[in-house]
A and B are shown apart, each in its own frame.
Chain A
Amino acid sequence: DTEVTQTPKHLVMGMTNKKSLKCEQHMGHRAMYWYKQKAKKPPELMFVYSYEKLSINESVPSRFSPECPNSSLLNLHLHALQPEDSALYLCASRPQLRGDYNEQFFGPGTRLTVL
């Protein structure tokens, strides 16, 4: 299994809602990433987990809360989002955080719309 899966594919939420995005991989990768991507722009790094511990937080607002319950699963909990948070949210994984030259494997993304 060489893919990263993300659910849901699409999500529409109001500014007072709480929702979660899910990412899963079964490649044994120990580094997992969340990115935010606006239309026709490159992905922007949000969070990086290494061995299920948060390693990098790129100054993301607290309304985004990541969680890595096990080595295969990565969640992004959303609360009180703003319309400008509407974007494609991408998950990626890599064998290790540092010290290897492997590419990141990306999931198909969740298209989030905040009303």
Chain B
Amino acid sequence: AQSVAQPEDQVNVAEGNPLTVKCTYSVSGNPYLFWYVQYPNRGLQFLLKYITGDNLVKGSYGFEAEFNKSQTSFHLKKPSALVSDSALYFCAAHSGAGSYQLTFGKGTKLSVIP
């Protein structure tokens, strides 16, 4: 069975400071990892994904994520947080080409304080 863990329910950061939202995973086979963002009463928007290759993945809105195989982590980062980044962030995983299901973490609420 595969699982995705987001250890923090909430992350608070001051505007302009760097932010990190943590994610660890447990999958059999090669992991395919995704970050989604959800604004209130909206659907999920795709931010970025790791499939293979460079461990540092760049995505939308200035976000990036670092894949670390030894630590089984895929933390989301941004160098300078904006108030508009405040939202609910989900890390998710497929366990390979044969997998149909996206396994989600529980979500982390990011609050950027002006």
Contact = CB atoms under 8 A, between A and B. Distances in A.
Contacts of B71: none
B97 A103 contact: no
Contact of B104 (A43, A50, A56, A99): A43
B1 to A, nearest CB: 14
Chain B CB count within 10 A is highest, among A48, A103, A108, A109, for A103
A49 to B, nearest CB: 11
A42 B90 CA distance: 7
Contact of A106 (B44, B97, B109): B44
Nearest to A90: B43
A51 to B, nearest CB: 13
Given A97-B100, A103-B34, A103-B49, A111 B41 contact: yes
Contact of B100 (A90, A98, A108, A109): A98
Interface residues of A, number: 28
B43 A100 contact: no
Contacts of A97: 100
Given A90-B43, A103-B49, A106-B43, A98 B102 contact: no
Interface of A: 4, 6, 31, 40-43, 45, 48, 50, 55-56, 88, 90, 92, 97-101, 103-109, 111
Interface of B: 32, 34, 36, 41-46, 49, 51, 88, 90, 94, 97-102, 104-107, 109
Given A41-B107, A90-B43, A106-B44, 20 more contacts: A40-B88, A42-B104, A42-B106, A45-B102, A56-B100, A88-B41, A90-B44, A92-B44, A97-B100, A99-B97, A101-B32, A101-B51, A103-B34, A103-B49, A106-B36, A106-B43, A106-B45, A108-B42, A109-B41, A109-B43
